Amino acid sequence: MADSPAVITEGISFDVGVSFLAVHVLVGIRGEVDSLTAPALDALLGSVVDGGHADIVLDLGELDFMDASGLGVIARTSTRLRADGGALTIRAPSAMVRRILDITAMSELIEVGLPPSKPTRLGPEQRPGDDSGRVGGISSGSVTSNLAGGAVLPARTDVVDAALRLVTKLARATVGGADGVSVTLSRHGQMTTVAASDETIAQMDRDQYATGEGPCLAAASEGHWFHVESLADEARWPQFVPRAIEGGIASILSTPLVVSARPVGALNIYSNTDRAFGPRDQELAALFATQASAILTEARTDITSEEAGRRLHGALQVRELIAQAQGVVMASRGVSAEVAYGALRQSAKRSGVVVREQAAEIVASTLRNRASREVGP
């Protein structure tokens, strides 16, 4: 066994250890993987794959944070390894990483002991009037705390749209054959594109709005998924199809977004290749649509002012509790607010609880000690 721990970047919270074992390469990540550090991880994993190693185990036990950049690295590496008959295995993912692996249908990479979620078998394309169930209303399971950040109040439109843009990026990186992805929503009484991977894809959506037809609009209005295997053979939507072909699009997969059992939009995946989306890709699209639907459900604006008041009160209580614990750490250690919050996060991670619970324990312990001193011997 050759062991070569390597610090990839200096001066930031990120390093990597690489161990070349008999049957696989073990890559352990410590710290944070974001837009600054992801290129280093990408280069490292790329060099391992280029070296002919087909099986890689990615140990995330000491990972503090990962954003879409890191997930893109995982998706690309997994795709390369599978093409060569290998596999990427994820070991000890945090709850945050595990949720997003569920979203991207990469949870099957997690080691035994963390059973993967099983995607729904969709069967043939759903059409108006058939007996098949709607797509998008299925339970999101562990992903209910989603990319929108679990807002306790209706999220601002820009926050929701940012989360949906992340879904489109992940979908494009994960779904085989995808050359572009968009999200269509009904806002203010009309359909609009709130996230698109590029201008060509945004124009495809606009062409459907202009003609009043297309798989995107059909999925959004009827709550069924629509699969255009080959636009060259497509007889539906005669006004839209010529525009799509002229734009270089050859196949489309549109899956409805559902909130409170009602279709409110669609996740649209476009390809420049005929018959690009097989059964696995259709299942992935359903999973991404479920996640987008969960984001929209969490961001719903149809709550009463009384409920909003209760949520705001609860949010303020949690914020105050964390601030109190942060103050305790600052006073006891003589550190800044930022360092104190970091210590609070690390303490929560070691204890296997969320920051709020760790803060509550620190505040309660401080109050007990204070009461004990006041009572005296």
Considering only residues 68 and 375, tell me which one the structure prediction assigns the higher pLDDT: 68
Q: Are 229 and 274 in contact (CB under 8 A)?
A: yes
- Mention every residue, 6+ apart, whose C-beta is less than 8 A from residue 371: none
- Residues 69-101 have pLDDT tens digits of 787 888 888 878 877 778 888 887 766 666 666
| Token digits of residue 190 | 């009309």
pLDDT at site 103: 60
Q: In the predicted model, what is the mean pLDDT of the chain?
A: 75
- Per residue in 161-207, pLDDT tens? 877 888 888 888 878 889 999 999 988 778 999 999 999 999 999 99
Phi, psi of 265, rounded to the nearest 5 degrees:
175, -165
Q: What domains appear along the chain, each with residue ranges and CATH number? A: 2-109 (3.30.750.24), 141-298 (3.30.450.40), 305-375 (1.10.10.10)
Query: How large is the average pLDDT for residues 108-127?
Result: 47
Q: CA 198, CA 372: separation in Å to the nearest integer?
A: 63
pLDDT score recorded for residue 343: 84
Q: What percent of the chain has pLDDT over 90?
A: 22
pLDDT band at 242 (very low <50, low <70, confident <90, very high): very high
Angle between helices 337-351 and 355-375 (to 10 degrees): 100
Contact between 137 and 224 (Cβ < 8 Å): no
Q: What average pLDDT does range 145-170 have in this prediction?
A: 60
pLDDT digits (tens, 9 = 90+) for 315-365: 567 767 888 888 888 888 888 877 887 788 888 878 887 778 888 888 888
